[in-house]
């Protein structure tokens, strides 16, 4: 319980109505005002885009946008990026603690030994056009997993939830690589359980049946870091979508498919693809000022993709790590003179010195550099958000599981209605 209270006074035509609302404190971050009692008092709150709304209580990830702080179960993202790896971070998000040697080995072996998908899943792909966007394919095939795994659909069953979590983390890279291979008309490459999670993904993406292929460990480490940096991010649009879908007791595969659909938007996870398209459109450092001017022009819908964030009003700590990784990959591949990277670095410098971006606190976000790394790894732009979705899967599952394993109700927001008042039907001959 709480002894903190918020006192709301509604002044209406000289009539004052006082409503007392409980205030709760978390372990970090702002206090929250519990507004549940407002409905009984004849009011809703109004917060389109949920700029000031805490939708739930959570112990998974904390972001301080002013300090550029991102904690997963209390551990700073910079420390996880330097000392941990993606699967260990998946375990941390799911179970709340870093695994000991035995638990880590069990988790990794379980994930890496369930990377194959049902052979009949292959038939889904042939129904898509070869030029289908891979995110369209992922929305379809991830939801379709629920057609195969009837033994992990009961959301009230703890074991079903855990099995579904493992299956999703295991199989997302396989489905992602299949979507890519299908788009280029190459045969699917089966997963290899002897490789690392990220190494196996690069293997399934770039190996071919007619030649031996080795995965470059520097590139595998970079891919692992990209997945780690995308693993979770509090109540972002796609995670909130997963929670809302899950609140209706939809099965976990359907909930993750809903998250994938929400992530696809260029304002969200589609931004990494949009950053590359923007850098291509800029084409030359000489054109940067024109695009900066367009980004500042209220009458121009153009926004500088990879900049700005709902929460980070300072730097995005993930972008800092991503920039280092970008340098490592470009140096490893001898691409440090990559023209797009040079445009990106100059764009970042100009934007961060520009009064408009400083005043609106628009800094590079996680998507700004990830696209350049992925391009350097030979991954086509359309696959960027698929990789974001793959990385974000443990975060989506952790939030879904946190809600389902606790007390929850179906999410059902209300509205401010400004449409027509009640009126009678008009017969056609009187319209």
What value, to the nearest 5°, has the Cα angle with vertex 380 and ends 378 and 381? Answer: 130
Quick one: which of 188, 171, 175 has its CA closest to 135? 175
Binding pattern for the stretch 223-252 against ligand SDX, x by CB under 6 A and - elsewhere: ----------x--x----------------
Binding to ligand SDX by residue 305, rule CB under 6 A? yes
> Residue 304 or 387: which CB sits closer to ligand SDX?
304
Q: What is the smallest separation between the CB atom of 304 and ligand SDX, expressed in angstroms?
A: 4
Binding to ligand SDX by residue 306, rule CB under 6 A? yes
Q: What is the smallest separation between the CB atom of 351 and ligand SDX, expressed in angstroms?
A: 9
Nearest residue to the partner ligand SDX, using Cβ:
308
Q: How far apart are the first and last CA of the chain?
A: 58
145-153, 195-203, 212-220, 263-271 -> range binding ligand SDX (CB under 6 A): 263-271
> Residue 174 or 239: which CB sits closer to ligand SDX?
239
Binding to ligand SDX by residue 382, rule CB under 6 A? no
Please name every residue paired with 364 in a beta bridge, in sequence order, or none if there are none.
307
CA distances from 248 to 242, 251, 408 (A): 10, 9, 10
Q: Is the dihedral of CA 3, 403, 416, 300 positive or negative?
A: positive
- Distance CA(257)–CA(389), nearest Å, equals 10
Is 309 a known active-site residue?
yes
Is 367 a known active-site residue?
yes
Among 366, 372, 383, 387, interactor with ligand SDX by CB under 6 A: 366
Binding to ligand SDX by residue 304, rule CB under 6 A? yes
- Distance CA(44)–CA(38), nearest Å, equals 6
Among 10, 267, 293, 358, interactor with ligand SDX by CB under 6 A: 267
- Distance CA(141)–CA(260), nearest Å, equals 11
Residue 3 half-sphere exposure toward CB, CA atoms < 13 A: 0
> Residue 271 or 404: which CB sits closer to ligand SDX?
271
- Distance CA(368)–CA(300), nearest Å, equals 21
Binding to ligand SDX by residue 307, rule CB under 6 A? yes
> Residue 236 or 320: which CB sits closer to ligand SDX?
236
Binding to ligand SDX by residue 99, rule CB under 6 A? no
Q: Percentage helix, strand, coil, to 5, in the chain?
A: 55, 10, 40
Taking a C-beta distance cutoff of 8 angstroms, is the pair 81, 60 a contact?
Answer: no
Q: What is the smallest separation between the CB atom of 234 and ligand SDX, expressed in angstroms?
A: 6
Binding to ligand SDX by residue 317, rule CB under 6 A? no
Torsion of CA 393, 396, 400, 401, to 10 degrees: 50
Task: Name the active-site residue from 309, 338, 354, 399.
Answer: 309
Quick one: which of 235, 234, 312 has its CA closest to 71? 234
Task: Name the active-site residue from 85, 232, 367, 401.
Answer: 367
Binding to ligand SDX by residue 390, rule CB under 6 A? no
Residues 10-49 that bind ligand SDX (CB under 6 A): none
What value, to the nearest 5°, has the Cα angle with vertex 329 and ends 324 and 334? Answer: 125
Catalytic center residues:
268, 309, 367
Q: Which residues bind ligand SDX (CB under 6 A)?
A: 233, 236, 267-269, 271, 295, 303-311, 360, 362, 365-367
């Amino acid at each position: 319980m709480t002894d903190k209270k918020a006192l709301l006074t509604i002044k209406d035509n000289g009539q004052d109505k006082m409503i007392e609302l409980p205030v709760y404190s978390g372990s970090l971050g702002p206090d929250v005002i519990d507004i549940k009692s407002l409905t009984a008092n004849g009011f809703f709150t109004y917060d389109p885009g949920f700029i000031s709304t805490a939708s739930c209580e959570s112990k998974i990830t904390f972001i301080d946008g002013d300090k550029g702080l991102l904690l997963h179960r209390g551990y700073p993202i910079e420390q996880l990026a330097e000392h941990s790896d993606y699967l260990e971070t998946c375990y941390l998000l799911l179970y709340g603690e870093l695994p000991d040697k035995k638990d880590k080995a069990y988790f990794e072996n379980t994930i890496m030994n369930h990377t194959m998908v049902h052979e009949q899943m292959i038939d889904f792909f042939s129904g898509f056009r070869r030029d289908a966007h891979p995110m369209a394919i992922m929305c379809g095939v991830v939801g379709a997993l629920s057609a195969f795994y009837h033994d992990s659909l009961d959301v009230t069953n703890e074991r079903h939830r855990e099995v579904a979590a493992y299956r999703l983390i295991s199989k997302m890279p396989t489905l992602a690589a299949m979507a890519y291979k299908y788009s280029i008309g190459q045969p699917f490459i089966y997963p290899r359980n002897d490789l690392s999670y990220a190494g196996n993904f690069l293997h399934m993406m770039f190996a071919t049946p007619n030649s031996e292929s080795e995965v470059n460990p520097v590139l595998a480490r970079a891919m692992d870091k990209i997945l780690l940096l995308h693993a979770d991010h509090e109540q972002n649009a796609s995670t909130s979508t997963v929670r809302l879908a899950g609140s209706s007791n939809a099965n976990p595969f359907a909930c993750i498919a809903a998250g994938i659909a929400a992530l696809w938007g260029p304002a969200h996870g589609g931004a990494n693809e949009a950053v590359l398209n923007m850098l291509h459109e800029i084409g030359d450092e000489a054109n940067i000022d024109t695009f900066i001017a367009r980004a500042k022009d209220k009458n121009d819908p153009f926004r500088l993709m990879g900049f700005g964030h709902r929460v980070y009003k300072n730097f995005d700590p993930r972008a800092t790590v991503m920039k280092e990784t970008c340098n490592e990959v470009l140096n490893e591949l001898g691409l440090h003179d990559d023209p797009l990277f040079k445009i990106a670095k100059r764009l970042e410098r100009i934007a961060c010195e520009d009064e408009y971006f400083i005043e609106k606190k628009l800094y590079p976000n996680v998507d700004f550099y990830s696209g350049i790394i992925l391009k350097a790894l030979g991954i086509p732009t359309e696959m960027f958000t698929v990789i974001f979705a793959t990385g974000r899967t443990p975060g989506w599952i952790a939030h879904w599981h946190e809600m389902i394993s606790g007390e929850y109700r179906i999410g059902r927001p209300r509205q401010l209605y400004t449409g027509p008042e009640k009126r009678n039907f008009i017969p056609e001959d009187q319209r």
